[in-house]
Structure 1
């Protein structure tokens, strides 16, 4: 299953955006209102939970300076990646788009498609004010 968030344009450089997203504790400021738990587990790993959902642990798997950050599932039964593509379009103007990739059976994909799409949309929308 592959999903994409809307693209957002930030009034920041790609470097500033990349540095913000590289520091995983900053993801707390991007989380939706219905977050019930957020905990930094390590310098590259955090746990979060949304109300009514199980805990999810994300670990920074890859970082390509100023252009891409890949967070992946760290443990649990589901294997997926959340990828942030960062593209500087002008000085102090950067586009960010999130991509979600995971292998799920059809039933699971149907159940999680809308919540994950809304989650990614919230993350990119909150980037406008958090970064």
Structure 2
């Protein structure tokens, strides 16, 4: 048996008093597949970022339970068919080892500044303006 976490979105059209009944239905479904120790945590009614099936609000419920790995696919297909479960996310609860990335040491020396290349000729703006005027006064200019 592995431990799983499941996050459910239930329709926000139900009242707060009807949600425990929905959780009992989900508990019954989990019991059909041999889930052990199902625990539910109702996170309340939340506004959704986008409408799901025409609803703008949903009850968010987090649950944890133990289940045989071979029954997970069948449970997922059963949950998809339930009309009172809008969305669900089933994830494995196995603890994973945290791996830290090795970072490069910070650079302490600054790179030498590159020197700009200066051309040996000075630019004569008057000569350039004169050349432009000559070109513009020609009659056969093709554009």
Normalised TM-score (structure 2): 0.34
Larger radius of gyration: 2
Q: More strand by proportion, 1 or 2? A: 1
